[in-house]
Amino acid sequence: MSLNKILVLDGVTAVCRFRDDGAIMEAEGMLSPDLMERMARFAQWYRRTVSSNTDLLSLFSQMRGWSPSQGWIVQGAGLTVCSTGNVVCLVGNAQGSLNEIMRALGEAARE
C-alpha cells in the first residue's frame, strides 16, 4: 500500500514511513523536509516510549493484550499525530476520521 492511499484520506496532511533509527524511508505530503524529519524522529522515539510503557503496564497489571503495542495517537487542539508500526501521519482535527486513518496506517504498517 503506497503512502498516497493514506495521504488522500480526509484531514491527512503528511505521512511518512520511518526506519528503526528514525530516518525517513518514504514520505508524502505538505511538510517541509526538516519538519518531516523531525516528525519521523519524534514518532520513532515516541513509539519506543509507548512500547516501554505498555510493557510496564502489562508487566504490573499482569494483563494480556497490551504488549507489544501497535501504535499511538496524540491529539492536540487543532492537529493530531497518529502512528501504527513504522508509519506516522499528521491530521487536521476538523476533517479527519481517526478510525479510518488508523485502519489505513495499520494496513500500511503490515506491509
Partner 1 sequence: MHIVKQLMAIPGVIAAGEYAYRGDRFSYEGALTEEFARMASIVCRANTLSVNMQAEIFESFAENCGCRPVQGWIVRGSQITVCAVGNYFSFIENRDELLNDVMTIMRAKVGDVQDDLLASLYARLGGDTKEALY
Partner 2 sequence: MMELPGALAAFTYNDRGALQSHVLREGTELTPQVLDLLARSCVANLAIASMEASGWEALTGQGGFQPLKGISVVGLEWSVVANGNRGVVVKNRDADYEAAFNAVQTA
The binding site for partner 1 (CB under 8 A) comprises: 20, 38, 41-42, 45-49, 51-53, 55-56, 59, 68-69
C-beta of 19 vs 38, nearer to partner 2: 38
HEC letters along 59-70: HHHCCCCCCCCC
Cβ 101 to partner 1 shortest distance, Å:
22
| Number of helices (H), then strands (E), in the chain | 3, 5
**Residues 101, 6 contacting (CB under 8 angstroms):** yes
Beta carbon of residue 107, minimum distance to partner 2 (angstroms, whole number): 32
5 binds, among partner 2, partner 1, none (CB under 5 to 8 A by kind): none
Cα 28 to chain centroid distance, Å, stands at: 14
Of these partners, partner 1, partner 2, none, which one is at the site of residue 83 (CB under 5 to 8 Å by kind)? none
Query: Which of 19/103 has CB closer to partner 1?
Result: 19
Least separation in angstroms between CB 85 and partner 2? 23
Least distance CB 3 / partner 1 (angstroms): 20
Closest CA to 89 of 45, 54, 55, 43: 43
Helix, strand, coil shares, percent, the chain, to 5: 40, 25, 30
